[in-house]
Amino acid sequence: MDAKFIDPFISATLNVLETMAFTKAEAGKPYLKKDQIASGDVSGVIGLTGEVSGTFSVSYTEKSILAIVSNMLGEEIREINEEIKDAVGEITNMIAGQARQELDQLGRSLQAAIPTVIMGKNHTVTHVTAYPIIAIPFSTSNGGFTIEVCFEQ
């Protein structure tokens, strides 16, 4: 997969978390993901269509998402609940939106579907499976999360 499809999602992830949740994250080394088991406890997934189709997902550890959403709302959230589910959907939406804006400037116009959120230990995230899934781990001062990008090219 072309790196120009990956980079907008990395920069959008960093920017959305810093702007909306005052959370500085650091991107690690991308790797090829071989299975569909989520690396975290709660994941947001969004389908993208247009000149090419694909999916973007972000999977958070419990510790990281509790800290992120607590920062966003300005109050402490102590457990994975409906508020976390809703927030993960909106964060996924914002990251995909900003990445699409960047891709649009590169001449790649994509539309986004409504995000879905999956919760629970060892849940699976389904991508456009015939194509490689690129995963990028991120670290924050409150644990890590991983984004995954999969496009049919």
Partner 1 sequence: MDLSMKVLVVDDFATMRRILKNVLKEIGFTKVVEADDGSTALAVLKKDKVGLIVSDWNMPEVTGLELLKHVRRDELMKDMPFLMVTAEGQKDMVIQAVQAGVSNYVVKPFTADTIKEKLEQIFDK
* 107 binds partner 1 per the rule CB under 8 A: no
* 90 binds partner 1 per the rule CB under 8 A: yes
* 15 binds partner 1 per the rule CB under 8 A: yes
* 89 binds partner 1 per the rule CB under 8 A: yes
Which region among 12-20, 34-42, 58-66, 120-128 touches partner 1 (by CB under 8 A)?
12-20
Site for partner 1 in 108-137 (CB under 8 A): 109, 112, 114
**Element containing residue 133 per DSSP (H, E):** strand 133-140
* 71 and 22 Cβ atoms separated by less than 8 Å: yes
Q: How many residues touch partner 1 (CB under 8 A)?
A: 24
Q: Which two tokens stand for residue 27?
A: 């991107």
DSSP one-letter string for 10-77 = HHHHHHHHHHHH----EE---EEE-S-B-SSSEEEEEEEEESS-EEEEEEE-HHHHHHHHHHHHTS--
- Three-state DSSP at 138 gives strand
Site for partner 1 in 47-86 (CB under 8 A): 69, 72-74, 83, 86
Chain residues that interact with partner 1, rule: CB under 8 A? 15-16, 19-20, 69, 72-74, 83, 86-87, 89-90, 93-94, 96-98, 100-101, 104, 109, 112, 114
